[in-house]
């Protein structure tokens, strides 16, 4: 804390010196005010230095605040904030079109993704992209809470997860997708495509597609935070891997 305070003081040191010189010059001009030319000269210099110092401090404060915001954005590598997932999906889709390695997801049934991106999903899998999904155990009664939160009929979320399982057992290429269960409600959507991570909350009373979504890029704290979270959850004992042999027909 002391180092940061000293650093900020040093940033303002030049402006403070200019301010002080300006004030001293104005005081001197009044002391020697009997000589008109000397008074006007010294007073003019003093006023100029005073105004320059004030302007310098103001500009320093202004750009310092902008610099702090820039540093935060750079440190966390937050690329964008989307008003809704529907808007974010436009960018997500463009990344999926050129996906090379990983697509990792924490969500529920992914209905919109499955229904509108079926061929895109198949193409990614055919191109060697590894897809991993963490979803809720469909037999967990806590899913009714999600139905209530989104204003959906009871059983809607469970049905969506069952359809997700069926979707990824239809063909041999889709069976490459790895799905794991978790028994707690996820509080955030997580969707990673290679070097980009999209996260956003599940809010009460709103459909998931209408919720705010944040995008983080690789190389920043945001990307590392969420990818580490996904990997720890994926590797944890609380997420048993789905066995396709145990899947019931939907």
Residue pLDDT, tens place only, 9-47: 556 666 667 667 767 766 766 666 555 565 566 666 666
Rounded CA separation 148/155 (Å): 10
pTM (two decimals):
0.69
Residue 175, pLDDT above cutoff 90: yes
- Give the pLDDT confidence of 47-57 residue by residue, as tens digits: 676 666 667 66
Residue 248, pLDDT above cutoff 60: no
Residue 241, pLDDT above cutoff 50: no
State the Cα torsion 233-235-237-239 to the nearest 10°: 60
User: What's the CA angle centered on 67, arms 65 and 71, to 5 degrees?
Assistant: 120
Lowest mean pLDDT among 56-65, 120-129, 214-223: 56-65
Most confident segment among 43-47, 110-114, 232-236: 110-114
Q: Which of 11, 2, 18 is nearest to 65 (CA)?
A: 11
Region 77-89: mean pLDDT is 92
* Residue predicted with more confidence, 97 or 29: 97
- What percent of the chain lies above the pLDDT cut of 70? 69
* Residue predicted with more confidence, 145 or 107: 107
Q: Residue 240: its pLDDT value, please? A: 44
- Give the pLDDT confidence of 132-159 residue by residue, as tens digits: 999 988 888 889 888 888 788 999 999 9
User: Residues 190, 216: contact at Cβ < 8 Å?
Assistant: no
- Give the pLDDT confidence of 67-79 residue by residue, as tens digits: 666 777 888 999 9
Q: How confident is the model at residue 237 (pLDDT cuts 50, 70, 90)?
A: very low
Edge to edge, the sheet with strand 188-193 lists 78-82, 213-217, 196-201, 188-193, 102-106, 130-136, 178-182
Helix pair 85-97, 118-126: axis angle to 10 deg: 30
């Amino acid at each position: 804390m002391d180092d940061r305070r000293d650093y900020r003081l040093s940033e303002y040191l030049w402006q403070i010196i200019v301010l002080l010189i300006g004030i001293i010059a104005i005081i001197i001009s009044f002391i020697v005010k009997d000589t008109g030319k000397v008074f006007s000269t010294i007073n003019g210099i003093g006023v100029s230095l005073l105004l320059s110092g004030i302007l310098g401090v103001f500009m320093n404060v202004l750009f310092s605040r902008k610099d702090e915001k820039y540093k935060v954005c750079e440190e966390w590598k937050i690329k964008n904030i989307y008003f809704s997932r529907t808007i974010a999906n436009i960018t997500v889709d463009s990344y999926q079109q050129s996906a090379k390695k990983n697509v990792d997801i924490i969500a529920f049934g992914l209905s919109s993704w499955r229904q509108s991106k079926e061929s895109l999903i198949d193409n990614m899998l055919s191109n060697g992209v590894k897809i991993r999904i963490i979803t809720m155990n469909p037999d967990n009664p806590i899913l009714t809470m999600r139905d209530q939160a989104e204003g959906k009929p009871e059983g809607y979320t469970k049905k969506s997860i069952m359809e997700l399982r069926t979707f990824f057992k239809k063909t041999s290429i889709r069976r490459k997708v790895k799905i794991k269960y978790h028994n707690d409600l996820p509080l955030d959507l997580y969707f990673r495509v290679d070097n980009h991570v999209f996260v956003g909350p599940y809010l009460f009373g709103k459909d998931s597609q209408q919720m705010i979504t944040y995008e983080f890029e690789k190389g920043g704290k945001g990307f590392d935070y969420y990818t580490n979270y996904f990997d720890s959850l994926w590797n944890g004992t609380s997420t048993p891997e789905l066995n396709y042999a145990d899947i019931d027909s939907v």
